[in-house]
Amino acid sequence: MSSLVVSAVLLGALLHASWNALVKSRSDTFLATVMVAVGAGTMAALALPFVAAPHAASWAYIGVSTAVQLAYYALLIAAYRHGDMSHAYPLMRGSAPLMVALVSGPLLGEHLGGQQWLAIGCICGGILALFFITRAQHRGAERATVFALLNACMIAAFTLIDGIGVRKSGSPLAYTMWIYMLTAIGLLAWTARTRPGELAGYARKNVGVMLVGGAASLGSYSLAVWAMTKAPVATVAALRETSILFAVAIAMLVLREKVGARRLAAIALVAFGAVAMRLA
């Protein structure tokens, strides 16, 4: 992986952790999540006239990825409703790259070297260790665990789908913009059905959530999809999971969560994995 690709993925990881923290910090996680998605979808729609249209071969992937993204948001809302970010986020982000690595070989024909597998193992192991340490400190989060594990499957699914689809699109930006716009439309329809009349008032009071969260969400995934065209999908997916480092930093500095020695050791394991992948 080149320095440019690594930098792009790490920036995307920071943006991803930031918009998740923004959603979790709000009292109404459902509407905050919808606002982030609508903000990203609106920005994507405004950008579409200025980018080349994706090739016809990628439209089926755009449709399937949009459906998976809708399931992802539904499970994200459920996980954060029933548990802390420090509980759900590491499990969602830590399990997904391992799933991707296990199936990307037979599906995409990508074969990773020994050092890359070691790096993936370190990153996933460190993130999962963070989860189990948090779980030991906060009991009664079984529902959050179930929803987070299901969401890890969604993350792995759209990572693989987009890894193939974006390469067929001929236009990574357009591919991503269409998915975000269609996902926003789907979430708006869902909100209109389940909580009619609430979104407009919430939007007026939380414009910052829509603008900042939407920009962070769109920027994060755009960088990841672009990186998938330059490096193996499993490698990008694993390096992107360093978002847990940023999430922990945000938890410490902004949310004032306590981070002990065991959690710091797990974070160090993730950092070692990122360095090993950079040197591979």
> Who has greater pLDDT, 22 or 237?
22
Q: Using an 8 Å Cβ cutoff, are 217 and 36 in contact?
A: yes
Is pLDDT at 114 greater than 70 in this prediction? yes
Please state, in angstroms and rounded to a whole number, the distance separating the CA atoms of residues 172 and 56. 13
- Provide the percentage of residues in the chain whose pLDDT is more than 70: 93
Look up the domain containing 16 and give its range. 3-279
**For 27-111, where are the alpha helices, taking DSSP H only?**
29-47, 59-82, 85-108
pLDDT at 48: 93
Q: Using an 8 Å Cβ cutoff, are 232 and 277 in contact?
A: no
Report how many domains make up the chain.
Answer: 1
- Lowest mean pLDDT across 6-15, 110-119, 165-174, 189-198: 110-119
pLDDT tens digits for 23-52? 988 889 999 999 999 999 999 999 999 999
Rounded to an integer, what is the distance from CA 232 to the centroid of its chain? 17
Q: Using an 8 Å Cβ cutoff, are 218 and 48 in contact?
A: no
Question: What burial letters (b/e) apply to 67-92, b meaning 16+ CB within 10 Å?
Answer: bbbbebbbbbbbbbebbbbbbbbbbb
Residues 84-89, mean pLDDT to the nearest whole number: 80
Is pLDDT at 280 greater than 70 in this prediction? no
The average confidence (pLDDT) of the chain is 85
pLDDT tens digits for 205-260? 999 999 999 999 999 988 887 888 888 877 787 788 788 888 878 877 887 767 77
Is pLDDT at 278 greater than 70 in this prediction? no
pLDDT at 108: 65
Residues 140-162, mean pLDDT to the nearest whole number: 84
Is pLDDT at 53 greater than 90 in this prediction? yes
pLDDT at 141: 63
Is pLDDT at 277 greater than 70 in this prediction? no
